A and B are shown apart, each in its own frame.
Chain A
Amino acid sequence: MLSLTHPRKTPLHSVPASYKLLFLCVAATAMFAISTAPVAISVLLVVMAAYLMLGWDVAKRGASASRGLWPFVAVIAIWHAHSGDYEQGIVITARLLAAVSLSNLVTMTTRLQDMIDCLSTVARPLRHVGISPKSIAIAIALVVRFIPEFLDRAERLSLAYRARSGRRASWRIILPLVFSALDDAEAVANALRARGGIER
């Protein structure tokens, strides 16, 4: 659980959450403007270098957190190889990997409470249209918190399926996964409510 957070403190942990999130927004937007393969690869290498500068353990954890991207990378690569547009394929793949890896790096080095505080401040104007900024911030924090949990649950369901079947589970676990996620959601909502986190 909570595998996105890196347990060892790095120099990036002491940078305020607002600076990191602002930088992430600007960098991710700028990445969309990249249209040539050498620039896209250079940006990806810079992101990888940032990981390595923080330590081998951080780089390993970052690589592990990006595992879920590989199916998408494969689809993009196959499609562009098929259409013959290699440069575009490289640009899209490198941009995707760089943007997601950078996001993971920010998540790994930012306290969740600091992220909630920052998002609450940004969402404050929404109060005027009847939307609670606190609810939005907590919702986003919960997404960050539960993605690794959800992936872990999917893996366990998949193993349980394979233990009693000769076939791979694939799409067959989607429905039980959704039901178990709803079950968990109710338990977490109770836990939040018990400590004043959400109110009806």
Chain B
Amino acid sequence: MTNAPISIDSIRYEIGGTSILNTMSLDITEHRIAIIGRNGSGKSTLARILCGLIQPTQGRVNIDQIDVYRDRKAAISRVGILFQNPDHQIIFPTVGEEMAFGLRQLGQSKADVENHVHQMLRQFGKPDWYDRAIVTLSQGQRQLVCLMAVLAMGPKVLVLDEPFSGLDIPTTRTLSAYLDPLPQTILHITHDPKIALTCDRVIWIETGTIVQDGTPNDVVPAFLNAMNTAVDL
């Protein structure tokens, strides 16, 4: 899978006259990108705009030459998002139904969807999960269901909006092991410098503005330095 170019063209986002994201433009062609920043820096808002979930006050985001907000039908097969809390993402009571939902929205037939879901479960080593009730799964397993449901739709870009928050170390490691070999372009929204260090490019955002954009070796030490001196709550 070749990297899908992401073009962020002069986007700005404000709510009720308050600026959440100041005008920014970015061209992203790297394979692994981290977007770092403090709480409330605008990272999650940027993630939602990147996926076309909210309309920027100004500008546009194109992924693979598709305007992700205006062309939703094409966008859902190009970009997927994994949210922080899987319980906000899971709609259906069983794993099979949850994974089938997005595929049905892509217009696949019921039989094709069922085959596709079984194939995906086998690929992730969970062939017996089709009828598993979500209620019986741990938080990490639910996050894996969300990941499988998003990947089943075949996106070229995956946005991770801090999906590891609140997960223990072994669960985080296991999920990372699933994510690392994926051919998709991954944009990881995080405030964990360790994750940022593994990426090809790091974009640091504070109060809706890009502070620094470059390689992990350049951006992460500067970010850590700023975080160590910042003490306000």
Contact = CB atoms under 8 A, between A and B. Distances in A.
A and B, one complex?
yes
Interface string B47-70: 010010110000000000000000
Interface string A174-199: 00000000001001101111111101
Interface in B103-124: 104-106
B133 A145 contact: no
A3 interface: yes
B61 to A, nearest CB: 14
A64 to B, nearest CB: 13
Interface string A102-144: 0000000001110000000000000000000000000001100
B93 A145 contact: yes
Interface stretch (A4-12, A15-23, A87-95, A165-173): A4-12
Nearest to A107: B93
B88 A187 contact: yes
Nearest to B88: A187
Interface string B124-143: 00000001111110000000
A191 B83 contact: yes
Given A2-B93, A5-B94, A7-B135, A195 B88 contact: no
Chain A interface size, as a band, is 20 to 34
B138 to A, nearest CB: 13
B149 interface: yes
Given A1-B135, A112-B97, A187-B83, A194 B51 contact: yes
A127 to B, nearest CB: 18
B148 interface: no
Interface stretch (B27-35, B72-80, B205-213, B220-228): B72-80
A1 B80 contact: no
B135 to A, nearest CB: 5
Contacts of B178: none
A102 B88 CA distance: 29
B153 A195 contact: yes
A2 B135 CA distance: 6
Interface string B87-99: 1111111100100
B135 A5 contact: yes
Given A113-B100, A113-B101, A187-B85, A192 B91 contact: yes
Contacts of B132: 7
A141 to B, nearest CB: 7
Nearest to A193: B53
A191 B89 contact: yes
A197 B149 CA distance: 13
A112 B96 CA distance: 11
B202 interface: no
Contacts of B87: 1, 149
A9 B93 CA distance: 13
A83 to B, nearest CB: 42
Contact of B73 (A113, A145, A184, A196): A196
B102 interface: yes
A113 B97 contact: yes
11 contacts: A1-B90, A7-B133, A7-B135, A111-B94, A112-B92, A187-B85, A191-B83, A192-B91, A193-B53, A194-B81, A196-B73
Interface of A: 1-7, 9, 111-113, 141-142, 145, 149, 184, 187-188, 190-197, 199
Interface of B: 48, 51, 53-54, 72-73, 76, 80-81, 83, 85, 87-94, 97, 100-102, 104-106, 131-136, 149-150, 153
Given A113-B104, A196-B102, 14 more contacts: A2-B135, A7-B132, A7-B133, A7-B135, A112-B91, A112-B97, A113-B92, A145-B91, A145-B93, A149-B87, A188-B88, A190-B88, A193-B72, A195-B149
